[in-house]
Amino acid sequence: MNTEYKNRIKNVQNAIIQSQADACIITTAVNQFYLFGFIFDGYAYILPNDEPILFVKRPENIENAIYIRKPEQIPDFLCNNGLSLPKKVLIEADRITLNNALRLQNALENPQLLNVSGIMREIRSVKSEYELSEMRKCAAIQTDVYRQIPSLYQKGMTDVLFQTEVERVMRQHGSIGIFRAFGDNMDIFMGSVLAGDNAQAASAYDFAMGGKGVSPYLPIGASDVKLEDGMTIMFDMAGNFLPYMSDMTRTFAIGKVDKKAYDAHQVSIEMNEWVSENVKPGTHCADIYYYSLETAKKYNLENYFMGTTQQAKFVGHGLGLEINEPPVFTPRSKEILRPNIAFAYEPKFVLPGIGAVGIENTFIINENGVEKITLCEEEMIVL
């Protein structure tokens, strides 16, 4: 195990000690990948002062794994190796099902269960230099793809067909396909594309913008709208070319678009420039939200800020292995930015009769300020 993974496991072991727990059990794919570099069906049993034990159901090629068929086999291994059954265990209570949690608890003879989900997200929010370098690589690939978007447009297209062409190029550039997100109502395929008044459609899904989608079964994003002069189309596709993601939004005009769309788009660019010049370690996330809202009010755009019929109450978020990691830029956030946190900032406006405008960039907090890594043209390009 290399130093990168050892350091990550050490952070979890420190959390076990601070929580006065006896062990931590990791079952979710994203945390398994973070701690070990691969995903398996089973349980990573982490002790505060010893090597992790991997209890694996599948696949069958993991070195030094303990192969089991069911969690009830875990206690026998522990006892046979001189390890006491835990009295207090950290589990990913936000993600594991109640049935699986109860079965695991019963197998371990009913220890107290504590939630480690928030702790793991907090640990992952501060990136290593390796992780940040991977995000920079991903942002460079995403920028290359976004620069090809204008060449993929053909008059008479629908938003779905246009998105499909962009997805094709993304896959050719190594896109993994899906991207991981934390929480419920976060299903989406490779990102969001919003054209015209579809940007006003409220959604049950917890993204910055909504959209009707192509079916009530997945009510988010593109809805097979025919692209016509006078509307905008916003691409917020996942930068999922590596496990460590980037996040970027760019907006395009279909033919001649009303001047107020360009004006509002310029406000979003101004907001991003403010972040580049003013955000640094110690900045309160809530202050970034309030700056954004006050700027929208200054330009009489508050009724269109982050939606119309349904306005999102955040303007940015952390990201890494998941698209929505801590911190979140909300009015009630108590989080403070620290060095090596990566975040996406996405002030957007929805203009009735035109569509969504605005940009989103990925930034990395360094010792003195921020580094913008999504270095792609920000002006609204006419298609």
pLDDT value, residue 380? 98
Length of the chain: 383
pLDDT value, residue 84? 94
CA angle 247, 253, 258 (to 5 degrees): 125
pLDDT higher for 110 or 183? 110
pLDDT band at 186 (very low <50, low <70, confident <90, very high): confident
Domain with CATH 3.40.350.10 in the chain: 3-123
What CATH homologous superfamily does 3-123 map to?
Answer: Creatinase/prolidase N-terminal domain (3.40.350.10)
pLDDT value, residue 184? 81
Q: Is 85 exposed, middle or buried (0-12, 13-18, 19+ CB in 10 A)?
A: middle
DSSP conformation letters of 51-117: --EEEEEE-S--TT-EE-SSGGGHHHHHHHTT-PPPSEEEE-TTTS-HHHHHHHHHHTTS-EEEE-H
pLDDT band at 1 (very low <50, low <70, confident <90, very high): low
The three-state secondary structure class of 134 is: helix
Question: pLDDT tens digits, residue range 117-157?
Answer: 999 999 999 999 999 999 999 999 999 999 999 999 999 99
pLDDT band at 98 (very low <50, low <70, confident <90, very high): very high
Domain with CATH 3.90.230.10 in the chain: 126-382
pLDDT band at 206 (very low <50, low <70, confident <90, very high): confident
Question: pLDDT tens digits, residue range 63-85?
Answer: 999 999 999 999 999 999 999 99
Give me the helix-helix angle, 159-172 and 129-146, nearest 10°. Answer: 130
pLDDT band at 173 (very low <50, low <70, confident <90, very high): very high
pTM for the predicted model, two decimal places: 0.95
Topology adopted by domain 126-382: Creatine Amidinohydrolase (3.90.230)
